[in-house]
C-alpha cells in the first residue's frame, strides 16, 4: 500500500525502487492515498484529490490499472 506523495522523500523508497519491486512479480503496489492524510477528516475535494492523484500516479508509473484502494489508518 503506497502513499505516492511520500515516494522519493528522505527515509522513503523511490519510484525506481517501487518499479523494481512491482516488476519482480513478488510485490503488488496499491493506492493508499497521496499523502497518507486521514481521509474522514477532509472534505470531498481533498479526499478525491488524495485518492485519484495516487491512483493516476501508480497507473502511469507502473503501467497497470489500479482497482484496489486502502484507507489510511484503517478508516473507511
pLDDT tens-digit map of 1-60: 999 999 999 999 999 999 999 999 999 999 999 999 999 999 999 999 999 999 999 999
Asked if pLDDT for residue 69 goes beyond 90, the answer is yes
Q: Long-range CB contacts (< 8 A, 24+ apart) of 67-72?
A: 68/30, 68/31, 69/30, 69/31, 69/32, 70/1, 70/30, 70/31, 70/32, 71/33, 71/39, 72/3, 72/32, 72/33, 72/36, 72/37, 72/38, 72/39
pLDDT at 62: 97
Give pTM, 2 decimals: 0.92
Q: How confident is the model at residue 76 (pLDDT cuts 50, 70, 90)?
A: confident
State the pLDDT confidence band at 75, using cuts at 50, 70 and 90. confident
pLDDT digits (tens, 9 = 90+) for 29-44: 999 999 999 999 999 9
Amino acid at each position: 500500500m503506497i502513499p505516492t506523495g511520500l515516494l522519493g522523500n528522505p527515509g522513503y523508497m523511490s519510484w525506481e525502487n517501487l518499479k523494481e519491486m512491482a516488476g519482480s512479480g513478488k510485490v503488488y503496489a496499491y493506492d493508499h492515498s497521496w499523502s497518507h492524510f486521514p481521509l474522514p477528516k477532509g472534505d470531498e475535494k481533498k479526499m478525491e484529490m488524495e485518492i485519484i492523484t495516487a491512483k493516476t500516479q501508480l497507473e502511469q508509473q507502473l503501467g497497470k490499472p489500479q482497482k484496489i484502494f486502502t484507507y489510511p489508518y484503517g478508516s473507511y
